[in-house]
Structures are given as C-alpha cells and as structure tokens.
Structure 1
C-alpha cells in the first residue's frame, strides 16, 4: 500500500476508534439496509412489522422491539444517515464518551417512542384514529438522532448555540405543527429529552453551563448601572 494511502487508512481508523459505538451502529444499519433491499416487499413488510414499536408490539415484547426498531432505516437511505451520523453522533460520542452518548440516545429513543405512542393511544381511545393504528409501523433511528442533536447544544459556544438551538426547535416544531401526527410528536419529544440530559453531561469538558451562564449575565446586568454613574 502506498505511503499516503497507509496514512489515510491509519487516520481514518483512529477516527473510527474515537467513536466506536457510532460506527458499529452504521455497520448494522448497512447490513439491515442490504437485507431489506434484497427481499420481496411482502417479506420486508413482515420483517419491519416484527420490529416495529407500535402499540401492539410494545404490549407484547417491548424490550425486543425497542432495541430492534433502531436497527433499521425508515427513509433517507444509508448514505444520508452516514453523513448525519458523522455530523452529530460522532462528535457527541467523542465528547461524552460511549457510555454517556449511549445513555442519551436511549433516553431519547425510548422516551420519545412511549410519548408518541401514548399520543396515538389517546387518539384511538377518543375516536380520532382507527383501532387498526395499533399496528402502525414505527421504526428507525430518527428519535435517537434528534436527541443527540439536542444535547450537542451544550457543546457549542455562544452565540452560535442559541442559533443552533433555535434552528433545531424551529425545524422540529414546524414539523409538529404541520404534521400533527405521532411521529412528529416523537421527534419534538426527543429534542426535549435530549435537552433534559443536561445533568447527565454536565461533567464533560467544554460544556456550556446554562446556570453559570445565567449567573454571569446577571452579574453583568447588576454592574451596568454602577458603571453608568
């Protein structure tokens, strides 16, 4: 292997080793994407039905479907998520460490799933959705991604963090207002759950501390009148 290729391979391997969880997940998603593209539509539907976090499956086998539902891509394609994972998951895992990163995505994925399916259950019980909706397909990695996107707010320096957070809330909030379905509820819930993970990540280096930021702002405001006299 030429020297420059060897160096490039070594650099990429070092990059992968700093975010092993993200890259293992990408490998699994690649494998499941290949599988789903090489089976018949009927078989694909059956596979996804058995791994869907719908109300029926959550009642029958919650742990199994909560895990397996995050191993399949619901739209967008593997290369699209490869880019998103490198933009959001890799920096988050490198910053938080694999354990804390995994905790954040599990909180977002599991919490948003139950919140969104709870909204769907309420809609069914009150006649706003048919009873057949208990079998609606609900799988994919987007809830976990939204939660990790949100927790990265605490890693970004001012004033960019406010623009980032505002853009995040606008993007998912607009989808919620326009869609008004359980999936958009799940995505917005995942963002809020990601933001709620602040106590979990507060010990990490480079963290933006909103409490300390508020104290500094208050001290500056208190000093201004004195400086004007």
Structure 2
C-alpha cells in the first residue's frame, strides 16, 4: 500500500516536474531574501527589476532573473495558487508548452510594457520616476499561463470562459492603478494567442477540474488586485461571458434546426415516393 502511494506521488511529480522545480526555486529564493534582511533584499530586487533603468543599460539578464524574485507578500498567500495554476497547465499542455506560455508572457509583456512606458516618458505623459519602478515576479508569466488555458477548456464552455477573461483583462486595463495591471492583461492575451498554436490538450479529469478552481481564483485575484478592479472585472466578465455564450450558441441552434427540417423533408419525400410505387 505504501509503495503504491509513493509510486503514485512520484508519477504525479514527474508529470509536473517544471512546476515542482520552479516552486522549489521560488520558495528557496524567497526564504533567502527574508533571511538576508530588508536592506540586501531591496538591493537584490532593484538589480533584478525589469524597469526601464535596467533594460536601457543592457541588463537583459533581468528578463530571466526577475521571474525568480517575488515581492508579493507572504509566500503562503501566493505560492499554493500559483502551483495549482502551473500544475494544471503542465498536465494539460505538457512541460515544454508550459514553459513556452510562461516565457511568452513574462518576456513579451515586459518588453511591450517597457516600450509603452518609454513612449509615455518621452512624450511627457509620465514622470521619469517610473523608469526606476520595481518590476519583479512571476505574475506576467502566470497571467500568460492562465490565458493559455482558454484553448484547453472543453469546447462547450470555451466561449463563456474566454469572454470572461478577455473582459476581465479589459476592465483591469481601464481601472488599473499602474503599468503592472496593463502588463498582466497583455500577458493574459499573449497566453491566449500562443495557446492557439499548441494543438489539442491532453484532456480533463476530475483532479484537473478540481485544480481549475484554485487556479482560476488565484488568476482572478492576481489580475484584479484592487476592490475597484474586482468589482469591474467581475461585472464586465459576467456580461461578456453571457454575451459570448449567447452569440456562439445561436449558430449551433440554427444549424441543428436546419438539419432537423432537412431531415423531415427527406422523410416526407421518401413517404411520398413510396405512395406512388
């Protein structure tokens, strides 16, 4: 019995090896930062940040390092939800596609936001203080992974799911407090677009449906990180989900109705032909 349990756990860990390794690295880095104290912690975060100051000086290594430095509060608040999200995506898409989705969001959204900030600073819309703003963490990558789930959701619920998250992204960009809110929304949309090239997901099981609950809850709270964003995102998301469901189901119902009438006409024609024989 014990041997079977150990074997099951090992198989599960092997199928989510990227998630496990990344979670362990995040936990180790976060613990080390806490142990080093606030002064050194702030210095490391400053050097790892993908802000305009670092990127403009050619510190492209921050695009990688920043994914392992998280400044988002106590680790027990965000790590369990992140693990559920990454593990679900890895089970559905496999390890390589998980890495592709995460990297696309983390690097792609960072560069797009940096380009937008550069233009805003040059045109005088933003203060130069933004060039040294802290920008570290896994949230852009995680947002893209969340977006990649849209292509894996069962076809029956995909319109409502996609409509919900697109609306949430739009709401967050509208009411967001800073550039990271825009980055999260951009990363989510990048993940959705990237996953359209992934092909078919491996399929859903009861465990994966169970993981979807904390994964999506974590994703929503990560995107909508203020009361206004929560209310706006939820409200607009519900409306968009209902609209998407209505619009996408109408052609299906019309097709079913057309097929039924065509079948009925064929039966009538067949019966009529039989009367003449």
Which residue does the alignment assign to 1:186? 183
Which residue does the alignment assign to 1:210? none
The alignment covers a number of residue pairs equal to 220
* Shift in alpha-carbon separation, 1:21–1:182, aligned structure 2, 3 A: same
Which residue does the alignment assign to 2:260? 227
1:98 aligns with 2:98: no
Of 128-137 and 57-66, more deviation after overlay is shown by 57-66
Which residue does the alignment assign to 1:48? 45
1:63 counterpart SS class: coil
Deviation per residue, 1:172-206 (Å, 9 max, x gap):
33322211521111001001101111343115444
Is contact 1:54-1:136 (8 Å) kept?
A: yes
2:102 counterpart SS class: helix
- Could you say which structure has the larger radius of gyration? 2
Deviation per residue, 1:204-229 (Å, 9 max, x gap):
4449xxxxxxx998576356346347
1:61 counterpart SS class: coil
Deviation per residue, 1:112-132 (Å, 9 max, x gap):
101112221122112222112
| Runs of 4+, deviation exceeding 3 Å | 6-10, 203-207, 215-223, 225-229
Contiguous gaps of at least 5 residues in structure 1: 208-214
Is contact 1:71-1:140 (8 Å) kept?
A: yes
CA positional deviation for 1:136: 0.9
The TM-score with structure 1 as length reference comes to 0.84
Deviation per residue, 1:36-94 (Å, 9 max, x gap):
11123221111001100001211223431000000012314322333223322112112
Is contact 2:151-2:196 (8 Å) kept?
A: no
The TM-score with structure 2 as length reference comes to 0.70
Which residue does the alignment assign to 1:57? 54
Deviation per residue, 1:16-35 (Å, 9 max, x gap):
11111111111110011111
